[in-house]
Chain A
Amino acid sequence: MANLSLTKVPMPEQDPNVRNRNFDEVALGYTEEMAKEEATRCLNCKNRPCVSGCPVNVRIPDFIAQVAAGNFEEAYKIITATNCLPAVCGRVCTQETQCESKCVRGMKGESVGIGRLERFVADYHMAHVNEKLEKVETNGHRVAVIGSGPSGLTCAGDLARLGYQVTIFEAFHKAGGVLVYGIPEFRLPKAIVQKEVDNLEALGVEVRTNFVIGKTLTVDELFAEGYEAIFIGSGAGLPSFMGIEGESLIGVYSANEYLTRVNLMKAYSDKYDTPIRKSHAVAVVGGGNVAMDAARTAKRLGAEKVYIVYRRSEEEMPARAEEVHHAKEEGIEFMCLNNPTRILGSENGEVRAIEVLSMELGEPDASGRRKPVAIPGSEHEIEVDTVVMSIGTSPNPLIRSTTDGLDATSRGCLVTDESMATSRPGVYAGGDAVTGAATVILAMGAGKTAAASIDKYIREKG
């Protein structure tokens, strides 16, 4: 008999007023008992709507049945048959718009906590099983993967399991891409990412850091070095600014810079040399997950006031509801329906305030969301000493501009077909480099598809 509770077993979390002072993980994870209890809420539907909502088609009801039975390691095997980064996905996947949005239990009450269960299974495995991954027997074919973010790690992992000799080229000094420079420690502990990278290396994947494709070597030179196929997962790239007055004042950051200083370069730790502004009041401009990460990071760095400044209303916010909820709990103030008009500086060129214009919602626009319309004469200042611009990115030009025959959209995103093949034979791409800023799981799905396509390409090439 299924557990008929309308709500998920609650996730234990650090108290908001404690956690907004530290960088430890917010959500603490289920215990075995909690996981088993939550697992019994799954109805094991015959038509498995949840699986169709998963970009990597994890056999969700099967793994949950194993959790309910207490066979956690069996559950792990089922998940990892199609998802090589379960500890990451269990934490940062947007389950509520994917698998969980299709869950039958969600029609009345809350869906099954699929993400929470996935995380539990992955963490259980990490804590209890010390398996020695062994190198797969190589098939002698070499593949280059550019970028070690979610798409690159997935693509490399799948290819390595098929016997390919894979080399990942990473521009930074550390592998993980957005998982290490972008997503904060308190949402995704870096030790988990490192473990995933270690696993790939155990499988035989070579990771070369400090290697910028497009600069250190070009795509053509990779082919010349003997790589038979190449996957480009180079990520989103150049941060956007609004083009308003004052964006070069001292105290204005892009979210990428702000988060990189803290996450990758560990500015929050005294052991590291990385400097970061000691802010009292911070305005984060934008309403996405990255904006939430930046705001919650600013709070943890000691800012007394942290505002989210967003031009639409909270309803239109692209950030996950869970992130918005966590941010509010931690004391982030939401100033929706405010559009920045300029950033005001002090005499010495430092930010002293951000001027915003109040907005109201008009008719739906092309995105289907109600369009924010300025209320004339409603300019007002918010006193802040730091502004973090979190309004998106445009694709990085380094590879596109150094590779002939690689088609891109007018926005600069690489063009691929359904198999993730680009316009260059043997070159595949996926993740934000193709889609523009999107999610970890979509990037993983693309990496997975590309791995299958690369395998097919090399086998058919003979």
Chain B
Amino acid sequence: MYKIVTKRQLNEAVTLMEVEAPYIAAKARAGQFIIFRIDQYGERIPLTIADRDKEKGTVTIIFQAVGTSTKALAQLNEGDSILDFVGPLGNATEIDGYKNVCVVGGGVGCAIAYPSAKALFNAGAHVDMIAGFRNKDIVILEDEMRAVCHNLYVTTDDGSYGEKGFVTNKLQSLIDAGNKYDLVIAIGPIPMMKFLSEVTRPYGIKTLVSLNPIMIDGTGMCGGCRVTVGGNIRFACVDGPDFDGHEVDFDELMRRNSYYKAQERESASHECRMLAAGEAAREAAAADGASEAKKEEQ
């Protein structure tokens, strides 16, 4: 059992938890993930590690309550325990050698973008961060992000906070303004990562995206997390979760992540937080809402 030592609501749907997991805390690096199982009937759900505290032996996860397991997890409180919690899985984000980086987060994807920005910032890179949200009410981690980058640009779709517009527009304007990035990291809803990769493609800027496909074991056994990258089958759990955004077949990933949506006993957590995350993917979010609503009806 893994004890929840801190719980904080970041916005209505997004929760931060610090969980006691000393072995994982000792090892975790930016970009890696854990798999949790809420109880003996639960699914195994991957979540990216948002932070860790070696001394306290805790791992921070930030998640949006979108499916059966994440909703149940959000109901737990400080002092409660999670049945299973395993990691750190996947490869750490490659941060060596980059000098001028733009880290882009969409919605709850900012929780995953944050540790990468922090790692790069601490390694001495110049880090710009763009954090996009649907509106002011769902802005999360603003102070935390500001502390690990040189410039933080917050955008909202409706202009209720920060700059009005999408993260893609902001990145384009930063590039237009003469910023010479040698790496862009994009983490958020699949459409956001797809379109952001299109922004950087003409400039040949290396673009890493963090993928979170459907997964069971997280150690390379099930093959459920396979994604097509550069025309080849890759397993996100052992080959990723970071991949070259210019090579990823995002449309296929989006289809595969909607695998169980139509099912009555669908576990919406499979959609992963990215699908339901920021509003750069307004359509995707709308579609999710519809499927959730349908599920409730049933």
Chain A interface (Cβ < 8 Å from any Cβ of B) = 171-173, 181, 209-212, 215-217, 235, 237-239, 241, 243, 247-248, 250, 253-254, 256-257, 260-261, 265-266, 270-275, 277-278, 348-349, 396-398
Contacts and interface: CB of A to CB of B under 8 A. Distances in A.
B292 interface: no
A248 B224 CA distance: 10
Given A257-B222, A260-B216, A398-B238, 4 more contacts: A181-B221, A235-B221, A248-B249, A274-B267
B221 A250 contact: no
Contacts of B226: 241, 248
Given A173-B86, A275-B267, A275-B270, A254 B222 contact: yes
B42 interface: yes
B266 interface: yes
A216 to B, nearest CB: 5
Contacts of B43: 265, 273-275
A171 B86 contact: yes
A448 B258 CA distance: 45
Contacts of B221: 181, 235, 237-239, 256, 260, 396
Contact of A256 (B222, B259, B270): B222
Given A215-B87, A248-B228, A275-B265, A256 B37 contact: no
Contact of B42 (A248, A253, A273): A273
Contacts of B238: 238, 396-398
B83 A239 contact: no
A273 B23 CA distance: 28
Nearest to B86: A210
Given A171-B217, A173-B84, A273 B41 contact: yes
A272 B68 CA distance: 11
A243 B232 CA distance: 8
B67 to A, nearest CB: 9
B294 to A, nearest CB: 15
Contacts of A172: 217
Contacts of A272: 41-42
B216 A257 contact: yes
A259 B260 CA distance: 17
Interface in B248-270: 249, 252, 255-256, 258-260, 263, 265-267, 270
Interface residues of B, number: 44
Interface in B207-230: 216-224, 226-228
A398 B220 CA distance: 8
25 contacts: A171-B219, A173-B86, A210-B85, A212-B89, A212-B219, A216-B88, A239-B222, A248-B252, A248-B256, A250-B255, A250-B258, A256-B222, A257-B224, A260-B217, A261-B216, A265-B43, A265-B44, A270-B265, A271-B41, A273-B68, A273-B69, A275-B267, A396-B221, A396-B238, A398-B219
B27 interface: yes
A217 B216 contact: no
B65 interface: no
B173 to A, nearest CB: 35
Contacts of B286: none
Contact of B223 (A256, A266, A271): A256
B235 interface: yes
Nearest to A170: B86
Contacts of A250: 255-256, 258-259
A248 B252 CA distance: 7
Contact of A239 (B42, B84, B223, B259): B223
B123 interface: no
Interface string B1-33: 000000000000000000000011001000000
A211 B222 contact: no
B290 interface: no
Contacts of B249: 248
A398 B221 CA distance: 11
A215 B27 contact: yes
Given A216-B88, A248-B252, A275 B219 contact: no
B147 interface: no
Nearest to B266: A275
A272 B265 CA distance: 9
A241 B235 CA distance: 12
Of B68, B87, B222, most buried by chain A (CB within 10 Å of CB) is B222
A171 B220 CA distance: 11
Nearest to B41: A272
Nearest to A236: B221
